[in-house]
Amino acid sequence: MPKKNNFNPDIIEDLTKFLDQNKEVDFLNFNLQSDDAIDTLNFKSLTRKKEELISLIKAFQRLIRIIPEQNRDVALTLLGEGVHSGLQIAQMTRKEFMGKCATLLKDETLADTIYQNALKKRGVILLQYLDVYQNNEPHIKAAKFN
């Protein structure tokens, strides 16, 4: 498994507390790129700096997007082990991910589903990147198709 991120157990506890304080928020669709949206969140009584937690919340959001039923506990477990995104998971071999996470999650089927979803997410991101890259090629701009 790749090098662990710096998400220690203390910050995972703060994330759990933050999620409990913001139960009404749909983090699957919440815009964490908007400062105005972030200002609507409840950060009261947390020991971490807001910026530090936002980084972890973004990692949480990336994970729940590939976890079936957006299972919060599974996402927190993976974060605690330094897994922070589908792209990170997709970089691993299936054997590597399953060896570590099937035991950790106590469910081989769930771990396999997460791995497959991570591969799909990587494929979608790659296609989006290629589309943007190719549409910005000089010959495309010069062709004036529109």
Whether the pTM exceeds 0.85: the reply is no
Q: Would residue 3 count as lying in a domain?
A: no
| Residue 54 domain-assigned (yes or no) | yes
SS3 letters for the chain?
CCCCCCCCHHHHHHHHHHHHHCCCCCCCCCCCCCHHHHCCCCCCCCCCCHHHHHHHHHHHHHHHCCCHHHCHHHHHHHHHCCCCCHHHHHHCCHHHHHHHHHHHHCCHHHHHHHHHHHHHHHHHHHHHHHHHHHHCCHHHHHHCCC
Task: For 12-63, write each residue's pLDDT tens digit.
Answer: 888 999 999 999 999 999 999 999 999 999 998 887 788 889 999 999 999 9
Is position 74 within any domain?
yes
- Give the model confidence (pLDDT) of 126-139 as tens digits: 888 888 888 787 77
- Look at the chain and report how many structural domains it folds into: 1
Provide the pLDDT for residue 41. 94
On whether residue 2 sits in a domain, the answer given is: no
Tens digit of pLDDT for each residue in 54-68? 999 999 999 999 999
Domain that holds residue 134: 9-143
